[in-house]
Amino acid sequence: MSQQHDKIRAVEWREQCLWLLDQRKLPHVEEWLRLETAAATADAIRDMVVRGAPAIGVSAAFGVVLAARARFAAVGAGWKQALEADLAVLAQSRPTAVNLFWALDRMRGLIATLVDAADPTQALLDEAQRIHDEDIAANRRMGELGAALIDGPCNVLTHCNTGSLATGGYGTALGVIRSAYSQGRIEHVFADETRPWLQGARLTAWELVTDEIPATLLAEGAAATLMKQGKVKWVIVGSDRITANGDVANKIGTYSLAVNARHHGVKFMVVAPTSTVDMALTSGDDIPIEQRPQSEVLSLGGQRIAPEGVNAWNPSFDVTPAELVDAIVTEKGVVLSPTAEKMAQMMSQGD
């Protein structure tokens, strides 16, 4: 795989600390934050310094390393019990991204095997780095599988940010786009601006420009007209949680895209690692949807844009029913027209 379209990383472990590229300041300022505690990591997740379900999971894993190191230095053999408070803080940072809980559960599994009297830092760091490396490898595999579904050359539409900034590296939906563009299957990418945080405008557009992939930005309200004019063949998005029947929670506005895509005969692809699949939830009705502050809708760039006295409704995610999804792509394989049976079969691969 050529590195021409894969220059970006947003989560790093160096100098014995977690470093995050502050995505709130992109694209104008590239500033890295040094994090030394679990509390600081949880704040960074909650405050959108880092976002995207896989990137949140990777960051939380490194947050556990920071917490365990500090607890062992403070109390020695009692570090496991003391660590519970830090794990709770990390778990409360974002409620919808299942990768957060998946990563914490994986770190908990290792913690259970460690000796209470020994320093756990290196063992936990090795596990966090494995989670990071595995995420990048999974993204590259999904890139290959998803690209193979696209008969090109064609144009595609994406929503929110699903690239290197949202993952350990390379990306989920944007990873498919990177792979397909490298293979000549995609000619041009249309990116929704993604209100209210403008991840498409600030982050996806920045990634595409940085990696030299032709891109055009549009308000999501223009997407239906774009489809009606026949300018895109695929909508390609990521996910923060997928349920056992194939329902998909993703950034608010995704459901509208799926409805519009089906009406206009445009294919709809969801790309996410199996760590995003929550087989414990029967359907999308069971997914907790994060409600974020009204101020995010009432203001833009710190400047209020709505009149005083009006309220705002600000769900961070919506749920797209499985019947509107043409393909779910994971590192374990592709599920076409997902059903509960097909999802279970895919999840059992490699077990």
Common-topology check for domains 3-137 and 142-347: no
10 Å Cβ neighbour count for 2? 8
pTM of the model: 0.88
Q: Residue 1 pLDDT > 50, yes or no?
A: no
Domain positions in the chain are 3-137, 142-347
3-class SS at 168?
coil
How much is the pLDDT for 2? Answer: 44
Candidates 3.40.50.720, 3.30.70.330, 3.30.390.50, 3.40.50.10470; correct CATH number of 142-347?
3.40.50.10470
Preceding omega of 196 cis (within 30 degrees of 0): yes
DSSP state of 291: B
Q: Strand runs (DSSP E) across 175-322, as ranges?
A: 186-192, 215-218, 234-237, 241-243, 248-251, 267-271, 277-278, 299-300, 303-304, 317-320
Mean pLDDT, rounded, for 33-49:
96
Q: Residue 273 pLDDT > 70, yes or no?
A: yes
Q: Are 217 and 193 in contact (CB under 8 A)?
A: yes
Place of tokens 């144009």: 155
Superfamily of domain covering 3-137: translation initiation factor eif-2b, domain 1 (1.20.120.420)
Q: Residue 310 pLDDT > 90, yes or no?
A: yes
Preceding omega of 214 cis (within 30 degrees of 0): no
How much is the pLDDT for 4? Answer: 56
Nearby residues of 186 by Cβ (< 8 Å), 6 or more positions away? 150, 152, 153, 154, 155, 156, 177, 180
- pLDDT digits 0-9 by tens, 230-270: 999 999 999 999 999 999 999 999 999 999 999 999 999 99
Q: What percent of the chain has pLDDT over 90?
A: 91
Cα 18 from Cα 12, distance rounded (Å): 6
Q: Catalytic residue positions?
A: 240
How much is the pLDDT for 351? Answer: 64
